Amino acid sequence: MSAVLETVYASAPIDQIILHTLELKHPAFEADAIRLCQGFDDIEATLEDGETATFIASGFGVSLPQRSMRGRQDLQFQLDNVTGDALQNIDAALEAGGSIQVIYRQFLESDLSAPAQLPTVMTAVSVKANARSVSVIASFHDLVNKAWPNKFYTPDFAPGLKYYG
C-alpha cells in the first residue's frame, strides 16, 4: 500500500476521497471490459499500464478479503440496478464458460493518474445474476491447498515410468 493511501486510511482528510473501482473481463463481453466505479460520477483514470479508461458510476457494495493466513481470500460485491447491457454480458459469459477476471483498484480522487496501490486481480468463483442485481464472489488462487510439485509424474510426462515396477 502506498504511503499516501495509508495516510488517507489513518487520518481520513476531507480533501482525499478513495474511489473504489471494479473491472470485469471475459472474452464473451461485447466491450473489452466492464469498468465500474463506486459513486455518482463517471471517472476517467489512468491504469497501471498507462492506458486511460472510463469507469461508469455505479452503486455497488464491496466486501474486501481479510488479510489472514487462510488459503482462499474472497472479495464479494453486489451490483444493484444493473443495466440490460451488463446483465447480457454476464449471461453471455456464463453461457460461454471460462472464468471472469475481476480487477479491483483504488484511486484517490485528487490523483487519477495511477491507482493508489497495485490492483488486486481475482477470478470469479460464483456469479448470481437476475434482473435487479448481480452478486459476485471472486477469489485469489488458493496457494495453501495447491499441489506441490505442480507437475504430476505420469507416463505422458515421464515415459520411463511405464517400465518401472
Q: What is the DSSP string of 19-63?
A: EEEEEEE-TTSSSS-EEEEESSS-EEEE-TTS-EEEEEEE-EEEE
Domain count, the chain: 1
CA-closest candidate to residue 114, choices 55, 47, 52: 47
From first to last of its 165 residues, what are the pLDDT tens digits of the chain?
566 777 777 888 887 888 999 898 988 888 878 888 888 899 999 999 999 999 988 888 777 766 655 556 677 777 776 667 777 887 888 888 878 888 989 999 888 998 988 898 888 888 887 777 778 888 876 555 666 777 777 888 888 887 776
Specify the 3-state DSSP secondary structure of 58.
strand
Q: Give me the residues paired with residue 6 across strands.
A: none
Q: Is 58 in contact with 79 (CB distance < 8 Å)? A: yes
Q: What is the pLDDT of residue 42?
A: 92
Rounded CA-CA distance 14/111 in Å is 15
Q: Give me the residues paired with residue 22 across strands.
A: 36, 104
Q: What is the pLDDT of residue 145?
A: 60
Q: What is the pLDDT of residue 72?
A: 63
Rounded (5°) CA angle 139-46-61: 40
Q: What is the pLDDT of residue 74?
A: 76
Q: What is the pLDDT of residue 47?
A: 93
CA-closest candidate to residue 105, choices 4, 18, 20: 20
Write out the residue range of the structural domain in which residue 155 sits. Answer: 3-163
Specify the 3-state DSSP secondary structure of 88.
helix
Rounded CA-CA distance 2/14 in Å is 18
